[in-house]
Structure 1
Amino acid sequence: MQVTIPGHLFGQLPFYDVADTDDSVVVDLHNRPDLVNIRGALQGGLVATLIDVAAGRLAVKYTNGAGAGTADMTIHFLAPVLEGPARATATLVRAGKRLIVVAVDVVDVSRDRLAARATLSFATMEAREPVQPAATP
């Protein structure tokens, strides 16, 4: 499974697949100068995006192709990601008919330090036809 859809905004971010199994998804976000805050750490919002991407990809596997939308996300930021890459490991907590719960740990790989721990809930969606972009005049 691709990390990003061709042409999507996420394609401009350095996301990389590390592992993708039935019960976990691991995605890296490489650090670079234009992604850090004034203290030199990876922006917290980008860490949150990394968490949501990894967890969402795992959740979708349990929806029988219907899809999932983030319903709730709690993140505990524990340490800055100074060197990177930031590695998010998403694991399944529970998969029900209407709600899927995923846990994610983010590690600053070069420092081998836990940077964040998160829990996300996803609402399962009903399958529908993809939306086609409107034609431009």
Structure 2
Amino acid sequence: VGRRWGPRFLRGPRRAALRERAARGLDRRGAAMIFTARYIPVGRVVVNLTAGSTGYPRGRFAAVAGAAALTWATYSTLIGALAGHWFDDRPLNAVLVGVAGALVLGTVVDLLLGRRLRRLDETGTPEQPVGVAPRPPERG
């Protein structure tokens, strides 16, 4: 969907700059973005469409998205089983623990990614993933 329809919605100078920024982000840390987005409801859709519209390699996307889906399904199943056992007759407590856990997890992920991004900004040279050729400049 992203490959077919994404470029139509990313026309114009502002959107082209946004597209290029997204492409650079996916080139540098695409696996982390795809993996993390699997755990964020709307994030999954946005990152998946962006990967398609920026030409992220299909094979790599399928492998990372498949691994992310497997971990997400395992994680969700375990959370459901544990919550069902621990909060059998207290659904409000389950909701409160779930919201608190999501806030803590989101904060930890944000701090870790922020630290990584600051480190990249300090060096001034983005890391090129192993085995990935640099993205050729777009023709204007």
TM-score in same-fold range (> 0.5): no
Q: Which has the higher strand share?
A: 1
Greater relative contact order (CA < 8 Å, ≥ 6 in sequence): 2
The answer to which structure has the higher helix fraction is 2
Report TM bin, short chain. under 0.3
TM-score with structure 1 setting the length: 0.27
Which has more radius of gyration? 2
